[in-house]
Structure 1
Amino acid sequence: MTSTDHTPDELDGLDVKRNLYWYKVAEPDDFADSEVRVCPVGLKTVAVTKLHGRYGAIDNRCPHQGGPLGQGTVENDKIRCPWHGFDFDPFTGHAAGGPGFDVPTYPVEARDDGIYVAALPPLPHTRTISDVLVETMTEWGVDTVFGMVGHSNLGVAEALHRAETAGELKYFGVRHEGAAAFAAAAYGKLTGRPAACFGIAGPGSTNLLTGLYDAKSDRVPVLALSGNVNSSVAGKGAFQDIDLLAAFADVAVYSQMVRAGSEHGELMTLALKHAIIQRGVGHLVIPDDVQVLEAPDQPASGPQGRMPDLRTGPPTAPLQQALQQIAAAKRPVVIVGAGARHDMEAAVALAEALHAPVLTTFKAKGQISDAHPLACGVLGRSGTPVASWMMNKADLLLVFGASFSDHTGISPYKPTIQVDTDPLALGRFKPVTVPLLGDVGMSCAALCAELRVHPELIDQRTEVAERWTVWRGEKARRAAARTDRGVPAAAVIEALNDVVPADAVVAVDVGDHAYSFGRYFETKQQSVLMSGYLGSIGFGFPAAMGAWAAAPDRPIVTVTGDGGFGQYLAEITTAVKYGMSITHILLNNGELAKISDEQRAAEYAVWQTSLHNPDFAAFARNCGAHGVRVEDPADLSAAVAEALAYPGPALVEIVTDPQSR
């Protein structure tokens, strides 16, 4: 009944002294004679063979380069390694190459109910370098990781697995590393805290780069972890061997290789400290062999005693200059960018004291409710005529945490007070009247504390309300327009205004639909996420996954075009796998309509912007999500409301007119 080449004494010793555990690996008649296969035995894999009616079990790893012996063939009563042709006895583990290559054997029994193989219970875990790195991550508050597990990051993956099992973090396995980086960037945009993204050597890590450039461009903290080839072959042109430090040199504010003799917790601490303080990407490369080295006594590292209070008040002289400018202005306006996201209470208090309209950049959409009597919506290419009207009539611009790039639409010809924590951001594009270095919240408070206003200061609230009345009338006209090419984009956004919950997070992709969203959607308390300065198409759905991971109790909505969703559409299976309640509003106009517009504007022929799309709603259903297709504006609100109520990922595909704006 038992087939093994252990001696009786050895078997007795194993069973009694080491408490072998028996695992069923096959049904009684599963094996054909001369068949070998890989069988899981606890955490091990074993090559099990049936030969001449006997069963043998040997270790699955060839000692040459780890080839899977269970995937080999049985020739001349020996198992032949599928990688390099080494031969092994299926019962004794003896290698044809000599005793130095022998592999361990395992007791095997053919019982009435199946084939059983015995193995020792796993040894107690010895803490590794990967454990030190992951423990340090969690000490710094990193509790969310997006990534793909692969052959050169398995040691780190196992440490992440242990931490997840202990309830210290959440891991989300994605279908493409680019989605992992976008999700981590969105997490940082929403919370101000870093999440991690994780890939293998070579392409797994280079796939992270686009999402990491989004984090760099929009100045949000992200931790990137790269597995790498073994130290012994690095730099020799081995499989997937590229210089990851060089590849990440431009995108990361900190990028280092973890080596056997490193202070491993300190490297992780430096990566996270750089990411948080410099609002960028901290990156570590961890060779495969280094990941599993034992480090029982190495300390993890945390933020205690490492992080200063980053808030800084404005210097006295420029503060007084700013106060003088304000005192001389009759029609000041406040413009807020994403850099003011966490200081809006102070910025709005200053605006209210000045009766000054509040305009936002597109990246800052939603930072003030459009129901506020001073709110004017978005300024610039994606903006409202309310905002542009009020800026054009202003005699002073107070700009908080915003860039002056061409997309923001901020006038370079107006007297301007610019407040930012980054000295390089001050006057970056053109000189400003008063560049004020300081934390937005503290700077607004300092201005309020000494505020002097012009005796003829104009209360602009009435004019703001008048401009909204005009604009809302125009929006209603556009939403009511009908064509035979699909639903007008204005009608889609009008429906979203009616049904998207006030506390939702809305992730907006890049494309023609984004301009419509910026113009027509009126925010309440929603948080809006987008790929701002990188402007990367494909951001929307992965960003929604990051938002859900950060705030699973809030409604999560993503608004994308067909072009953007096409880049990461497989991630809907990730959302289904983890039960992510994401409501996806997909505007399908059958083309890259924004690019078509740009070609027309440049007086080129419209070329190669048409798209061959699937039935996206049916695709969503095939993936296990809710999916519905809308072609009639009358069905919009009900379809979106149904999707919002669905307990999981839901897609509303709306056929839209590429010419409607």
Structure 2
Amino acid sequence: MAIQGQTTIPKTAAQYVVEQLAAWGCQRIYGVAGDATLYLMDVIARQDRVQYVGCRLETTAALMASAEAKLTGQLAVCTATSGPGIAGLLNGLGDAWQDKARVLAITGQVERKKIGTGTKQEIDQQLLIQPLAIHSTLVADARPLPVQLNRAMRRAYSRGGVAHLSIPKEVWMEPVNAPLYPLFPEQLLPQPVQGQLDGALRLLNGSSRPIILAGRGVKGAEPNLLAVAEKLNAPIMTTLPARSSVPNDHPLFVGGLGQAGSEIASDLLKEADCCLVLGATWWPSDYVPEGIPIVQLDIDPAAIGETVPVAAPVVGEMRVVLPRLIEGILCKEKVEWSRQVQSLKQQWTARIEQETAVDVVPIPPQRVIAALSRCVHPDAVITLDVGDHVLWFNRIFQASRQEILVSGRWRTLGFGLPAAMAAQLAHPERQVVALVGDGGFGNTLVDLATAVVYQLPLTIVVMNNGSFAMEQNRMVQAGLSTLGTQLSNPDFVKMAEAFGAEGYRVEEPSQLEPALTAALASNRVSLVDVVCDDPIVPHTKI
């Protein structure tokens, strides 16, 4: 509820929206200006608490908001005008919806008297956004705006996902005389049910070959994750967003699960007699055995058992539950299991070293990823677009403390650059790298201009193989025509320079690390165009 007795000074709806967002800690609004949001733009321009980040594409604005929310865990905001404006947001909002990122989308709407008349840029916005939003409301009058805005922010924050307000053009200038709502209070961490803990411990203590799958839900509880694994003597698999939750040189780390992971992770899972799933719902059916007993821990009850039956569910927050698991786990040596894990890990390490040592032209993608792994800062933020390069990254990259941002379930082309821009704005002190394919980069490359305008010293590494390699290789494997997968690319270096960025061309393996080092050290937007091969990732199928 609003603060009782708080005095208020009448303001416009646009002023109220900006002040309420600022009160909740919003630092940026990503958007594209349009006719139905011009009054909002004017208000933002007249204050300095909330920055407006003007993009060329509404898709970029929504992807930037989604990426910021994933990176910070806070509410992120994007805006666009009516009609084609909100339509342009949808792709980026789909990413936030699928990955449960806390995003508030505020869109302008045509004047109230024109709603339902078929006037220019008019559409039923609530119907349009319905599949992607957990909450959507038309603000038909400024008087209920404070309550409507508060409800939208709280729902996006508490449930994770997209909340949406559409505000007709003239409503922005209507008066609002209401206090601001206080920041959403810190929630009490849910306590696990003792019976659930007892069931989980029975399975874990009764296993002789346990294994762990860690997802992004372990963020903030990484030391506890390692303590559980070491006490259980259990190898750790990770989803891609959780790749740096455990140092990749740790003896118990065995890579990712699935085609983008390591073969030994799947092999060990088939041999395991219990799997502890922590903050993850990823369960690729082609790479996992049937019938393995699963202990799943998640803060969201709806996530438990979402993709696979669970023998022992535990609802709770990692930082609360994992210490209690550690206390109840009985130490066992598991000598044979340890030997098997270390033997397979040594074999896998040797295989990866062999793959990354190949010195040919065009440059193998494994070689590119290995060079990036050596050059990038341990505390960097790495954003990945969508394509075969993501599979090679998860197979090859050796993470330490890097934050990895992906379009997890929506998997939209063009995610890499917007996510990198959002990351650099949220963490200007950190090194930020966007690893993109030439196909995905083309979807949002016009916003390279945005990165230059805001002087964001990020590095874009383009895996340039002249194709939509993932689709091409799947078609090849299935004996299909590769129609539609070939790309005619511009000179990316000249293009970057035309935008006002630095450009580096890499055609030989020996040029890789010098170019990466120079780009990463630059204080400007830099692009490294790597001419690379497009080999088929192991286990590729249509």
**Shorter-chain TM-score: what band?**
over 0.9
Aligned partner of 2:35 in structure 1 is 151
Q: 1:126 to 1:319 in 2, by over 3 A?
A: closer
Equivalent of residue 432 in structure 1, options 310, 316, 323: 310
Q: What CA deviation, in whole Å up to 9, does each residue of 1:263-316 have, x standing for no partner?
A: 322222211111111110111111110001123x3222222xx53525212212
Cα drift, residue 348 of structure 1: 2.1
Do residues 413 (structure 1) and 295 (structure 2) align?
A: no
CA distance in 2 between counterparts of 1:159 and 1:462 reads 65
Q: What CA deviation, in whole Å up to 9, does each residue of 1:142-164 have, x standing for no partner?
A: 1111111111101111222233x
Aligned partner of 2:231 in structure 1 is 353
Equivalent of residue 473 in structure 1, options 336, 350, 356: 350
Contact 1:404 1:410 in 2 (8 A): no
Aligned partner of 1:579 in structure 2 is 455
Contact 1:581 1:648 in 2 (8 A): yes
Cα drift, residue 408 of structure 1: 9.0
Do residues 637 (structure 1) and 501 (structure 2) align?
A: no
Do residues 613 (structure 1) and 489 (structure 2) align?
A: yes
Matched position secondary structure for 2:35: coil
Equivalent of residue 522 in structure 2, options 629, 646, 651: 646
Q: 1:431 to 1:619 in 2, by over 3 A?
A: same
Contact 2:111 2:169 in 1 (8 A): yes
- Larger CA Rg, structure 1 vs 2: 1
Cα drift, residue 390 of structure 1: 2.9
Q: 1:126 to 1:416 in 2, by over 3 A?
A: closer
Equivalent of residue 312 in structure 1, options 187, 190, 215: 190
Do residues 332 (structure 1) and 216 (structure 2) align?
A: no
Amino acid in structure 1 at the alignment position of 2:387:
G
Matched position secondary structure for 1:207: helix
Contact 2:240 2:404 in 1 (8 A): no
Matched position secondary structure for 1:586: strand
Contact 1:382 1:516 in 2 (8 A): yes
Amino acid in structure 2 at the alignment position of 1:229:
V
Q: What CA deviation, in whole Å up to 9, does each residue of 1:450-475 have, x standing for no partner?
A: 2234x553486665444343223222
Cα drift, residue 225 of structure 1: 0.8
Aligned partner of 2:180 in structure 1 is 300
Cα drift, residue 651 of structure 1: 0.3
Give structure 2 stretches of 5+ with no counterpart: 1-8, 538-542
CA distance in 1 between counterparts of 2:493 and 2:245 reads 32
CA distance in 2 between counterparts of 1:367 and 1:275 reads 26
Contact 1:355 1:458 in 2 (8 A): no
Do residues 565 (structure 1) and 441 (structure 2) align?
A: yes
Contact 2:210 2:274 in 1 (8 A): yes
**Greater mean deviation of Cα atoms: 603-612 or 439-448:** 439-448
CA distance in 2 between counterparts of 1:522 and 1:357 reads 16
Do residues 139 (structure 1) and 23 (structure 2) align?
A: yes
Amino acid in structure 2 at the alignment position of 1:396:
C
Cα drift, residue 358 of structure 1: 1.4
CA distance in 2 between counterparts of 1:159 and 1:340 reads 40
Do residues 384 (structure 1) and 262 (structure 2) align?
A: yes
Cα drift, residue 126 of structure 1: 7.0
Aligned partner of 1:511 in structure 2 is 387
Contact 1:488 1:660 in 2 (8 A): no
Cα drift, residue 355 of structure 1: 1.9
Equivalent of residue 493 in structure 1, options 358, 369, 372: 369
Matched position secondary structure for 1:145: strand
**Greater mean deviation of Cα atoms: 466-475 or 650-659:** 466-475
CA distance in 1 between counterparts of 2:73 and 2:441 reads 26
Contact 1:259 1:286 in 2 (8 A): yes
Matched position secondary structure for 1:342: coil
Equivalent of residue 286 in structure 1, options 167, 170, 174: 167
Q: 1:522 to 1:456 in 2, by over 3 A?
A: closer
Give structure 1 stretches of 5+ with no counterpart: 1-124
Amino acid in structure 2 at the alignment position of 1:366:
S
Do residues 450 (structure 1) and 331 (structure 2) align?
A: no
CA distance in 2 between counterparts of 1:407 and 1:299 reads 51
Amino acid in structure 1 at the alignment position of 2:353:
A
TM-score (norm 2): 0.94
Aligned partner of 1:236 in structure 2 is 117
Cα drift, residue 329 of structure 1: 0.9
Aligned partner of 1:210 in structure 2 is 91
Amino acid in structure 1 at the alignment position of 2:14:
S
Matched position secondary structure for 2:529: strand
Q: 1:127 to 1:568 in 2, by over 3 A?
A: same
Amino acid in structure 2 at the alignment position of 1:133:
V
Contact 2:283 2:308 in 1 (8 A): no
Aligned partner of 1:184 in structure 2 is 65
CA distance in 1 between counterparts of 2:284 and 2:233 reads 27
Q: What CA deviation, in whole Å up to 9, does each residue of 1:353-378 have, x standing for no partner?
A: 21211110123222222022222221
CA distance in 2 between counterparts of 1:458 and 1:159 reads 66
Contact 2:109 2:168 in 1 (8 A): yes
Do residues 276 (structure 1) and 157 (structure 2) align?
A: yes
Matched position secondary structure for 1:208: helix
Matched position secondary structure for 1:307: coil
CA distance in 1 between counterparts of 2:482 and 2:37 reads 45
CA distance in 2 between counterparts of 1:341 and 1:412 reads 28
CA distance in 1 between counterparts of 2:390 and 2:122 reads 39
Matched position secondary structure for 1:171: strand
Do residues 366 (structure 1) and 250 (structure 2) align?
A: no
Aligned partner of 1:91 in structure 2 is none
Amino acid in structure 1 at the alignment position of 2:13:
I
CA distance in 1 between counterparts of 2:282 and 2:396 reads 23
**Greater mean deviation of Cα atoms: 325-334 or 565-574:** 325-334
Q: 1:355 to 1:361 in 2, by over 3 A?
A: same
Matches within 5 A, 1:92-171: 127-163=11-47, 166=48, 168-171=49-52
CA distance in 1 between counterparts of 2:203 and 2:216 reads 24
Do residues 423 (structure 1) and 301 (structure 2) align?
A: yes
Overall identity of the aligned pairs, in %? 34
Contact 1:344 1:441 in 2 (8 A): no
Q: Which has the higher helix share?
A: 2
Amino acid in structure 1 at the alignment position of 2:179:
P
Q: 1:177 to 1:418 in 2, by over 3 A?
A: same
CA distance in 2 between counterparts of 1:578 and 1:495 reads 28
Contact 2:135 2:152 in 1 (8 A): yes
Q: 1:187 to 1:585 in 2, by over 3 A?
A: same
Do residues 323 (structure 1) and 201 (structure 2) align?
A: yes
Do residues 540 (structure 1) and 421 (structure 2) align?
A: no
Cα drift, residue 560 of structure 1: 0.5
CA distance in 2 between counterparts of 1:192 and 1:137 reads 16
CA distance in 2 between counterparts of 1:210 and 1:255 reads 17
Q: What CA deviation, in whole Å up to 9, does each residue of 1:61-115 have, x standing for no partner?
A: xxxxxxxxxxxxxxxxxxxxxxxxxxxxxxxxxxxxxxxxxxxxxxxxxxxxxxx
Matched position secondary structure for 2:503: strand
Q: What CA deviation, in whole Å up to 9, does each residue of 1:580-634 have, x standing for no partner?
A: 1111110000001110111123332222100010011110011100101100000
CA distance in 2 between counterparts of 1:407 and 1:638 reads 41
Contact 1:367 1:527 in 2 (8 A): no
